[in-house]
Structure 1
Amino acid sequence: MRADRTSLRPWQVATLVALLGFALFPAYWMVSTALDPRASTRGGSLLPSGLTPRHFSFVLGDGGFGAFLLNSALVAVVTVLISSAVALLAAVAVARFRFPLRRQILVMILVAQMVPLEALVIPLFLQARTLHMLNSLLGLAVVYLAFSLPFAVWQLRGFVAAVPVEVEEAAYVDGCGWGQMFLRVLLPLVAPGLVATSVFSFITAWNEFIFALTFLQDDDKYTVAVGLQKFFGEHTADWGPIMAASTLITVPVVVFFLLVQRNLVSGLAAGAVKG
């Protein structure tokens, strides 16, 4: 009886286990250190000296990290919702309509995605100061929108272009207006691409540090990336609270990814081959 060709050989299993352990070890170290009551003196020990939620209580209580989580969640949600809506409408425009400089606009969108973020700190800071948007979560969300939109428009354009025009024309024949066709026909078909771009927008808004540090001044408006530095001293670092705060930063990203993972994989794959 022939062996199943899909079964893995022992060396393949060992390789997968080694790679999985290598990938998950930083997460294990972060969580175990956050729960270790002697995190600052742990050294290179693989096992924590014990388990305690004391560091999480300190971070969320005296450390004020709950407010930072709320600020980041607000900025991320605003960024995801607005960037998804604007990018989808822009993608429909460049994929379905013919207008002057259409190709040049697409090239400019791609070029904007290639500009290093660090090169934009000073220009955006001066512009935000002129518009009185410094030290504002709304101003920070607008900046993140500018970062997210080029990738989102370019990605969604492929999904919109892949939908046959005949499908839209059939909806018109059945009596749908443009708005009904958009909501009932086009939107469900490009939903996987919308999920893929929303993940990128969420991670950008949640993890970004340089612009949040530059734009925000009041402690009560800090996002999680900026608030994390409060647990670093001038000469020492309190590793227990640092790892507890890092765990709290990681959990929402993981949860968001798990919620959209089905559509994310299909969206990235489809966006890579359609256009």
Structure 2
Amino acid sequence: MLVTALSTNAELFAPEARLFPDLGQLGVFGTALADGKALGWLVNSFTIATGTMVLSIGLGIPLGYALSRFSFRGKVVVALVMLFTQMLPEALMVVPLFALFRRFDLLDSLGGLVLANSAFVLPIVGLILKGAIDGVPRELEEAARIDGARPLAVLLRINLPLIVPSIAATAVIAFFHAWNEYVFAVTFIFDPQIQPASVGIANFIGELGTPLQTVMAVALMFTLPAVVFYLFAQKYVVAGMTAGAVKG
């Protein structure tokens, strides 16, 4: 992407491919950001991804705790239904969700996209955190209850510190899901000012021509925040995804 963004049209279609970027073409990034649209798209994407991450984890923690620690009728069925939701493609839900969003005035709203993305990512977040909480010894919770701790305090003070790696792993999953999401964004958002970058980049594709350098410059800026976020959290991801695989 960097090499393409910093190449001229003649160089892009030359018989020999360029292997290294031409730093003299850095002005393409300034051109891409000149009108402020690209920066606005990135801010919108960050808002949606962060909101989805916070909401899905905030709901996924008590969901995972309930599935792990409480016994109720239909518990296995609930877990299976949550797992089966991951088989549904987003395109299948666009029409009913569009009708629902129009009824509750959630169209053209970043909050609406946060809700839609959270609904799709919450089941997998809850199941991962359930597996992590399954690996926390019950004796620790029993000792806390003997000391007078209430269920919420047990969850916040005993379980949460021990499942931080799993929380980090689910945070990466939720963030990337919302950051890359396109179907809901292009369907539920009409105002160009609040479009995320996934939709904004697609708008560069024209009938008569596509500015490849500009597309790649914006795409690179769209990719870097997600890569940086993953590099920051990667040390927790493997531990978090394997937590709960072995009990005891």
TM range (shorter): over 0.9
Query: Which amino acid in structure 1 is aligned with residue 99 of structure 2?
Result: L
- Where do residues 112-151 of structure 1 align in structure 2 (5 Å cutoff)? 112-151=85-124
Report the CA distance between 1:177 and its aligned residue. Answer: 3.0
* CA–CA separation in structure 2 for the residues paired with 1:113 and 1:144: 12
Given candidates 230, 237, 245, the residue that maps to 1:264 is 237
Report the CA distance between 1:269 and its aligned residue. Answer: 2.3
Query: CA separation of 1:157/1:110 partners in 2, compared to 1, >3 Å: closer, same or farther?
Result: same
Query: Which amino acid in structure 2 is aligned with residue 246 of structure 1?
Result: A
Indicate the structure whose relative CO is greater, using CA pairs within 8 Å and at least 6 residues apart: 2
Q: Deviations over 1:76-135 (max 9, x none)?
A: 111000100101100101110111221211111111111111111111111111111111
Q: 2:11 touches 2:18 (CA, 8 Å); kept in 1?
A: no
Query: CA separation of 1:162/1:49 partners in 2, compared to 1, >3 Å: closer, same or farther?
Result: closer
Report the CA distance between 1:226 and its aligned residue. Answer: 0.4
Report the CA distance between 1:273 and its aligned residue. Answer: 4.5
Q: 1:40 touches 1:240 (CA, 8 Å); kept in 2?
A: no
The answer as to 2:18 corresponding to 1:46 is yes
* CA–CA separation in structure 2 for the residues paired with 1:273 and 1:242: 46
Report the CA distance between 1:39 and its aligned residue. Answer: 4.6
Query: Which amino acid in structure 2 is aligned with residue 91 of structure 1?
Result: G
Given candidates 68, 72, 80, the residue that maps to 1:99 is 72
Query: CA separation of 1:274/1:253 partners in 2, compared to 1, >3 Å: closer, same or farther?
Result: farther
* CA–CA separation in structure 2 for the residues paired with 1:81 and 1:87: 10
Q: Deviations over 1:33-86 (max 9, x none)?
A: 1223x1565225223572222121122222611111111111111100010010
Q: 1:33 touches 1:39 (CA, 8 Å); kept in 2?
A: no
Query: Which amino acid in structure 2 is aligned with residue 66 of structure 1?
Result: L
Q: 2:135 touches 2:243 (CA, 8 Å); kept in 1?
A: no
Query: CA separation of 1:214/1:274 partners in 2, compared to 1, >3 Å: closer, same or farther?
Result: farther
Report the CA distance between 1:266 and its aligned residue. Answer: 0.8
- Where do residues 1-275 of structure 1 align in structure 2 (5 Å cutoff)? 30-36=1-7, 38-39=8-9, 41-43=11-13, 45-47=17-19, 50-51=22-23, 52-62=25-35, 64-273=37-246
SS in 2 for 1:135: coil
Question: Where does structure 2 lack aligned partners over 5 or more consecutive residues?
Answer: none
Q: Deviations over 1:200-241 (max 9, x none)?
A: 110110011111000000000100100102322212111111
Moved more, 101-110 or 249-258: 101-110
Question: Where does structure 1 lack aligned partners over 5 or more consecutive residues?
Answer: 1-29
* CA–CA separation in structure 1 for the residues paired with 2:88 and 2:82: 11
SS in 2 for 1:217: coil
Report the CA distance between 1:156 and its aligned residue. Answer: 1.0
Query: CA separation of 1:216/1:113 partners in 2, compared to 1, >3 Å: closer, same or farther?
Result: same
Report the CA distance between 1:150 and its aligned residue. Answer: 1.0
Report the CA distance between 1:244 and its aligned residue. Answer: 0.4
* CA–CA separation in structure 1 for the residues paired with 2:20 and 2:139: 62
Report the CA distance between 1:153 and its aligned residue. Answer: 0.9
Moved more, 211-220 or 114-123: 114-123
* CA–CA separation in structure 1 for the residues paired with 2:146 and 2:9: 67
